[in-house]
Chain A
Amino acid sequence: KNEVEQSPQNLTAQEGEFITINCSYSVGISALHWLQQHPGGGIVSLFMLSSGKKKHGRLIATINIQEKHSSLHITASHPRDSAVYICAVRYGTDKLIFGTGTRLQVFP
């Protein structure tokens, strides 16, 4: 049983749409990461959260500790946002546990 669940697994959108990707985890965590992986493989760390909300450009990440849930939002989506978005959590000081990823395709 994967301790980190992401939804949806696949997502298509038209350029300009508002995108939401969800992540749920099972027990209390010390930190949650949102990662982006483009075709070709390189992984970029977008956010690390332990509470509240963070914003960077068109990306917004929120986390609700009580509900054990995080969301990644993309405003005014663009084809270059097409990638796999991965949620990863850390329990205490232990290793990261990765979600299965959400494959996003944004069409012009």
Chain B
Amino acid sequence: GAVVSQHPSRVICKSGTSVKIECRSLDFQATTMFWYRQFPKKSLMLMATSNEGSKATYEQGVEKDKFLINHASLTLSTLTVTSAHPEDSSFYICSALIAGPYNEQFFGPGTRLTVL
């Protein structure tokens, strides 16, 4: 299947700093990428849908100024957690969509963010 990478896989930062997470589709072009957040032992929660060249669509309750999403190319989307706080500590997963008759979706390996 298609490969989606995320970088970094793990990051620890101080409260108040900003952290950027990259999501790349390695062998296909993704017009749509999704960003999810997962709390321990919980299911994935969709944060936003990112379309190449346009503004991201955020889910209800997700602060767009806190979680900045940029989808500058067909193979790269970034999530920046601005002014991070300990409650932002979580597992963030991106996913890329191959548009077509089946809309197949592939997931990245995730990024574990710890804010001290």
Contacts and interface: CB of A to CB of B under 8 A. Distances in A.
What does DSSP make chain B's interface, helix, strand, loop or mixed?
Answer: strand
A86 B43 contact: yes
Interface residues of A, number: 20
A95 B108 CA distance: 17
Interface residues of B, number: 20
A41 B36 CA distance: 12
B67 interface: no
A102 B52 CA distance: 34
B91 A41 contact: yes
Interface of B: 1, 34, 38, 42-44, 46, 49, 91, 93, 102-110, 112
Interface of A: 30-31, 33, 35, 41-45, 48, 50, 86, 90, 93, 95-96, 98-101
